[in-house]
Every structure is written in C-alpha cells, then in structure tokens.
Amino acid sequence: MNVFEAVKQSVTTRQAAEMYGVKIRRGGMACCIFHEDRTPSMKVDNRFHCFGCGADGDVIDFVMQLYGIGSKEAAQKLAADFGICYDNKSRASPRPMQRKVSPEQQLWQKADYCFRVLCDYLHLLEYWKEAYAPKTAEEHWHPRFVEALQKLSYIEYLTDILLYGEAEDKAALIIEHGKEVVQLEQRITGIKAGNSTGVEADNGSNGTAKER
C-alpha cells in the first residue's frame, strides 16, 4: 500500500484540519482558510468543500492547498504527523504517538468548551423567561425569571465573542470567566438531572440565583 492509499484510509480531512489548528464548529463547518471568510462556509468531514470559494477535495488536497506543497509531500507530511506506517505489502497501521497540542489549539478547545456551556445556559435562560413570566402584575417574580432578565443580554454578548471575536478577546474571556463556566456547567448538569435539592451556584461573580 503506497503512502496515498495509507493516508486516505487512515486520516479524514477533519482530523487533519484540527491537527493543523483549523477551528471546526458545529455541524462540521469552519471558516474557509483559502479565502477571506468571516462566517463558516466550509464543510469539513471525510472530504472538504467550501460553499463560498468552491475549494474542494480530500485530505491530501487539503494539506496541499494549506501548505502550498505537492501531493506527495502532502501525503508524506500526513503520514509523518499521524504516525502512519505504509509499504507495498501491508495495510496502514498507525503507530502510537504523543500529539503535541499547540497553544492555539488549546485556546480553541477552551473556547469550544466555554461556548458550549454558555449556549446551554442561554437556552435555559430563554426558557425561564417564558416559563416563569408572571401571569399578572401582582404576581411575585420567580427568581428564575429575574435571572433570565438580568443575564440574557450579557450571555449573548459572551457567546458572540467566542463565536466571532478575535483570539485575544477569546483568551481574555476564558481567563476572566473560566472558573465561573465550570461552576455553571455543574449547575446546569444538576438542573438537567432533576436534582430536587438544587445546586448552590451563587458565586457572586455570575449573579446566578440558587436553585429551589
């Protein structure tokens, strides 16, 4: 099996894209790296296709265009980076390897985590705003309704930074709110699990109310 066959059977374009620092969003979409793209227009899976500029191909084509190298060099780079053994007699077999995660990849991973948790919280707030809205002017406002009013706009602002902001803005958000996001995830998990005793999550910085 030659290097081209070995690579194509062992590595998807998405795996390669993530390995080389490309941010893959929900649904396998990414901002195209082959043209100026501010909104995700490139679908990345086993192959890749950009609905904006038309870039298309398999994993080897992707690396060729990404690094401006020939097909053989691209295949050999993938084989080396993913630890793929190949020859003319045996099937490809990945070697155990320790992948190095670049600082940029670490940032994307943390941003992904924060975005996921904040989106869950945002959907919860939207539900609370409707489900716990007072039915009459005299009715006492439920703490969840109050929390939704207080937090919706700000959480939308934070998710916009994680989705569209510059790397520096995302890093600053992660540093400032990282611990709160971890606590928020724990609180949401408790709510989804139907914990009757509730989860104490009033940490003072995110202003969330204690669950009843």
For residues 118 and 161, membership in a common domain is answered with: yes
* Per-residue tokens: 30: 């990414």
For 41-51, how does the pLDDT look when each residue is reduced to its tens digit (9 = 90+)?
889 999 999 98
Per-residue model confidence as pLDDT tens digits over 179-188? 999 999 999 9
The tokens describing 107, both together, are 């940032």
Q: What pLDDT digit, counting tens, does each position of 119-141 carry? A: 999 999 999 999 999 999 899 99
Digit-coded pLDDT (tens) for 40-91: 888 999 999 998 888 999 999 999 999 999 999 999 999 999 988 886 444 4
How does pLDDT run across 1-40, given as a tens digit for each residue?
A: 688 988 999 999 999 999 888 888 888 899 998 888 888 8
Total domain count, the chain: 2
Radius of gyration of the chain (CA): 23
Residue type, 123: H
| Residue 70 placed within a domain | yes
Q: What pLDDT score does 109 carry?
A: 82
End-to-end distance of the chain based on CA atoms, in angstroms? 62
3-state helix, strand and coil shares in percent for the chain, rounded to the nearest 5: 55, 5, 40
Same domain as 119, residue 81: no
Quick one: 77 and 147 in the same domain? Answer: no
Q: Does residue 202 fall inside a structural domain? A: no
Q: Cα 210 from chain centroid?
A: 29
Check whether residue 59 and residue 129 sit in a common domain: no
In tens, the pLDDT along 142-184 reads 999 999 999 999 999 999 998 888 888 989 999 999 999 999 9
Same domain assignment for residues 135 and 182 = yes
What is the residue range of 131's domain?
A: 103-192
Contact between 155 and 107 under an 8 Å Cβ cutoff? The reply is no
111 and 137 belong to one structural domain:
yes
